Homo-oligomer: A and B are copies of this chain.
Amino acid sequence: MNQTIETILNHRSIRSFTDQLLTDEEIRLLVESAQCASTSSYIQAYSIIGVTDQGKKRELAALAGNQPYVEKNGHLFVFCADLYRHDKVARDRGEDVKAALEGTETFMVSVIDAALAAQNMAVAAESMGLGICYIGGIRNDLDKVAEILKTPEYVLPLFGFVVGHPANPSAKKPRLPLEHIYHENTYNLDEQDFHKHLSEYDETISSYYQNRTGGKRTDKWTEQITQHLKEPKRTYMNQFVKEKGFNKR
């Protein structure tokens, strides 16, 4: 197994960083790495906003659910789906491409483009000995995020991404059984397999929590996920993305 795969298999989210900031050189290398990811039809439909202003970081941390590591880290990036440049480029050439930009297809393309770029950055950062954590919490209030970062129409902040020098180690969280995620030729709808995979996984997760909390937590994945999904979250999203020009038709 090579070093890159070792890095990938060793991933865990880091939520506690030292005070050491990333250097400009490190930031550039991370952004370059992100940019080298594949992009659908060369469209490059994303932007990355680095947040260094301490006031803005504090505001973003507050709205992301008061996660201290959004404020204290080596660097905070915000990844955005971005079709602003495409709209502008086309208008400059006398063309109206709104019908394409506003479709669900292009919405998906831009979200995928941004995510591919982000994951390249994640692997690059971890290969440098840095820790990372995705911050979905910024989607709690994207209106406010857009205001803080002054993003125009056709730009949709998707998630934050913190990087830094890890202060505390964290444990690797077990994933669903490979057989459950991976199908061959057709999607496996076998009921027995389904229940076998998930009850095995529930046991794994339950003992993972038991070990980590000295027996205080014993929750299963199926419990956790059901609980998580019981109350729909961020129900403003459907309307919001449309207001920003995405996913309208």
Question: A171 contacts the other chain (Cβ, under 8 Å)?
Answer: no
* Contact count band on A: 35 or more
Q: Mark A214-230, 1 if CB is under 8 A from B, else 0.
A: 00000001111110111
Copies in the complex: 2
Given contacts A3-B3, A149-B183, 5 further A-B contacts (CB under 8 A): A8-B123, A38-B134, A51-B184, A90-B226, A100-B229
A139 is an interface residue with CB less than 8 A from chain B: yes
A123-145 vs B, CB cutoff 8 Å, 1 = contact: the mask equals 11001100011101001000000
Decide if A185 is an interface residue (CB 8 Å cutoff).
yes
Q: Please measure, in the bound complex, the distance between the C-alpha atom of A175 and the C-alpha atom of B47, giving whole angstroms.
A: 12
Q: Measured between C-beta atoms, what is the minimum distance from A8 to chain B in Å?
A: 5
Distance A49 CA – B181 CA, assembled complex (angstroms): 8
The majority secondary structure among interface residues of chain A is helix
Q: Which of these, B134, B194, B224, B233, contacts A100 with CB under 8 Å?
A: B233
Partner of A127, one of B4, B93, B189: B4
Measured CB to CB, the nearest residue on chain B to A249 is B238
Quick one: which of A14-67 are within 8 Å of B by CB? 28-29, 31-38, 40-44, 46-53, 56
A88 at the interface (CB under 8 A from B): yes
Using an 8 Å CB-CB cutoff, how does the interface string of A66-106 with B read, 1 for contact, 0 for none?
A: 00000000000000100001101110110101011101111
A207 at the interface (CB under 8 A from B): no
Q: Report B-chain residues with C-beta under 8 Å of the C-beta of A10.
A: 36
Q: Are A225 and B43 in contact (CB under 8 A)?
A: yes
Q: How far is the CB of A239 from chain B (nearest CB, A)?
A: 8
Question: Chain B's nearest CB lies how many Å from the CB of A54?
Answer: 10
Q: Decide: B178 and A28 in contact? CB cutoff 8 A.
A: yes
How many Å lie between the Cα of A203 and that of B35 in the bound state? Answer: 19
- Chain B, residue nearest A148 (CB): B186
